[in-house]
């Protein structure tokens, strides 16, 4: 019995003349993700991606799992391919959904007749197929409001398709369709979620992380690399930039007022990030900041940080509270790694009484008391890069 995966678009279906560009990018992302699983043909029609195995014995479970994490897909399902003949549809429905229906008590039939030349209308398909399934599975009853199983028949251009429940996809837009941005990736809970949220909007993510040995350990860096690796399930390949930051932090400690340590550190991180971003054609920076969460994330502090930025800074978590962020972190499987007890450089030389409402003029005066430019150039030059790919 021939089986395919039907992956249906979300908001991509609403695109106009440039829809084909999004479809091409989604096709490339899907082919790249499922390539290790075998040989497949990917075609598009009627706002749906058809993923057909060249080997009819291929197990599509892994395909569904991987495609379900690809941004741009709203729903997906495994489906049986039928001729556009009601007899063939009925026969294959009984066989294909036997295990599912044997383990259910209630069901309904839902028909979608995209091909209006098909001789039976949707209500007729539902009624006739429902009667056949009741005869073959006499323990079942019909429940049109809250069925345990919905048997769906789709009459499309070339074939008919029968399947059970649709699975929820990742939604959003295909990664790469909205350009590239640099994620400031710490070892905490927030920044991986921020990267995931921007990737969902079609942004290709690169990541930058700052290390301060001996104040931070190799395990702290490994933790961040593990987070980067986990994000590839959704974001695809990620270029990871590791910046040596010890000398800069020591210079801040030795030359700047303590209450401004964190805000000056953030400004210098932004400066380094946008210089590296420019080399890789990243159009924006991404952070995991949420208003008021810590002293460096008050509106006044964020304004002082943004004053050094020459490209946009996206903060997708800016209005979220911690419980909402944690919920997403658990969903994308980064929470457990983020909570490992290895601290990053943001905890080094933390001021006892940070300024929560800093004035930009005071911050600039404090920062300008020392010439950080040579240290910035050195950090950029000595930045190491590695690439994380899916699998």
The three-state secondary structure class of 75 is: strand
Q: Which CATH class is domain 180-388?
A: alpha beta
Predicted TM-score (pTM) of this structure: 0.90
**Can you tell me the mean pLDDT for 32-52?**
92
- pLDDT given at position 296: 79
C-alpha distance from residue 109 to each of 27, 148, 167, 344 (Å): 31, 11, 17, 54
**Can you tell me the mean pLDDT for 357-378?**
94
Q: How confident is the model at residue 341 (pLDDT cuts 50, 70, 90)?
A: confident
C-alpha distance from residue 300 to each of 100, 263, 295, 305 (Å): 57, 10, 10, 9
In tens, the pLDDT along 63-76 reads 999 999 999 999 99
Most confident of 58-62, 91-95, 258-262, 297-301: 91-95
Q: Which residues pair with residue 4 across a beta bridge?
A: 79
Q: Please check the confidence at residue 390 and state whether its pLDDT lies above 90.
A: no
In tens, the pLDDT along 182-237 reads 999 998 999 999 999 999 999 999 999 999 999 888 898 999 999 999 999 999 99
- pLDDT given at position 58: 81
- pLDDT given at position 356: 80
**Residue 139 token pair:** 């323990």
Q: Please check the confidence at residue 86 and state whether its pLDDT lies above 90.
A: yes
- pLDDT given at position 161: 97
DSSP H or E run through 352: none
Q: Please check the confidence at residue 57 and state whether its pLDDT lies above 80.
A: no
Q: Please check the confidence at residue 351 and state whether its pLDDT lies above 80.
A: no
- pLDDT given at position 90: 96
The rounded mean pLDDT for the chain is: 93
238-244 β-sheet, strand order = 313-314, 285-286, 180-184, 204-211, 238-244, 384-388
ω into 214 cis (within 30 of 0)? yes
Q: How confident is the model at residue 293 (pLDDT cuts 50, 70, 90)?
A: confident
Proportion of the chain above pLDDT 70, given as a percent: 99
The three-state secondary structure class of 280 is: coil
d(CA 172, CA 72): 5
- pLDDT given at position 365: 94
| Nearest of 74, 68, 30 to residue 52 by alpha carbon | 30
User: What number does CATH give the domain 3-168?
Assistant: 3.30.2130.30
d(CA 29, CA 237): 10
d(CA 79, CA 354): 58
| Nearest of 313, 345, 294, 321 to residue 187 by alpha carbon | 345
Number of other residues whose CB lies within 10 A of the CB of residue 280: 13
- pLDDT given at position 371: 95
d(CA 326, CA 206): 22
Strands 48-53 and 40-45: antiparallel
Strand extents, DSSP E, the chain = 3-9, 40-45, 48-53, 73-82, 106-113, 141-142, 149-155, 160-163, 167-168, 180-184, 204-211, 238-244, 285-286, 313-314, 384-388
The angle subtended at Cα 50 by Cα 117 and Cα 84, nearest 5°, is 30
- pLDDT given at position 273: 97
Greater confidence (59 vs 205) lies with: 205
- pLDDT given at position 142: 95
Q: Please check the confidence at residue 277 and state whether its pLDDT lies above 90.
A: yes
The domain segmentation of the chain, as residue ranges, is 3-168, 180-388
Question: Contact at 8 Å (CB) between 44 and 58?
Answer: no
d(CA 317, CA 184): 13
In tens, the pLDDT along 128-177 reads 999 999 999 999 999 999 999 999 999 998 999 999 999 999 999 999 99
**Can you tell me the mean pLDDT for 287-304?**
88
d(CA 61, CA 64): 5
Q: Please check the confidence at residue 16 and state whether its pLDDT lies above 80.
A: yes
Question: Contact at 8 Å (CB) between 59 and 263?
Answer: no
- pLDDT given at position 46: 86
Q: Please check the confidence at residue 337 and state whether its pLDDT lies above 90.
A: yes
Q: Please check the confidence at residue 343 and state whether its pLDDT lies above 80.
A: no
The three-state secondary structure class of 210 is: strand
């Amino acid at each position: 019995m021939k089986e395919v995966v039907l992956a249906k678009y979300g908001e991509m279906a609403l695109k106009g003349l440039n829809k084909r560009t999004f479809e091409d990018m989604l096709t490339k992302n899907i082919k790249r993700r499922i390539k290790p699983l075998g040989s497949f043909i990917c075609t598009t029609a009627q706002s749906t991606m058809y993923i057909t195995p060249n080997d009819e014995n291929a197990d599509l479970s892994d395909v569904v799992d991987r495609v379900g994490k690809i941004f741009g897909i709203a729903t997906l399902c495994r489906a049986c391919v039928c001729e556009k003949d009601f007899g063939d549809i009925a026969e294959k429905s009984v066989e294909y959904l036997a295990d599912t229906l044997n383990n259910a008590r209630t069901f309904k039939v839902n028909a979608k007749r995209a091909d209006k030349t098909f001789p039976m209308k949707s209500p007729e398909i539902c009624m006739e197929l429902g009667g056949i399934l009741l005869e073959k599975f006499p323990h079942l009853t019909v429940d049109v409001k809250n069925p345990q199983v919905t048997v769906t028949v789709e009459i499309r251009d070339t074939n008919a398709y029968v399947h059970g429940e649709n699975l929820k996809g990742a939604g959003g837009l295909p990664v790469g369709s909205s350009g590239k941005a640099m994620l400031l990736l710490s070892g905490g809970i927030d920044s991986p979620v921020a990267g995931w949220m921007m990737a969902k909007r079609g942004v290709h993510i690169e990541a930058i992380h700052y290390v301060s040995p001996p104040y931070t350990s190799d395990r702290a860096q490994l933790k961040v690399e593990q987070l980067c690796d986990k994000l590839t399930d959704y974001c695809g390949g990620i270029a990871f930039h590791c910046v040596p930051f010890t000398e800069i932090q020591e210079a801040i400690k030795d030359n700047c007022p303590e209450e401004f340590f964190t805000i000056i550190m953030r400004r210098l991180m932004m400066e380094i990030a946008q210089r590296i971003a420019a080399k890789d054609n990243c159009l924006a920076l991404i952070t995991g900041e949420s208003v008021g969460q810590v002293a460096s994330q008050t509106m006044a502090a964020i304004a002082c940080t943004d004053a050094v930025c020459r490209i946009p800074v996206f903060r997708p978590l800016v209005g979220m509270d911690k419980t909402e962020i944690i919920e997403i972190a658990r969903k994308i499987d980064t929470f457990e790694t983020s909570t490992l007890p290895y601290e990053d450089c943001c905890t080094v030389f933390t001021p006892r009484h940070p300024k929560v409402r800093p004035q930009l003029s005071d911050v600039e005066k404090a920062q300008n008391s020392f010439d950080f430019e040579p240290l910035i150039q050195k950090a950029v030059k000595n930045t190491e890069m590695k690439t994380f790919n899916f699998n």
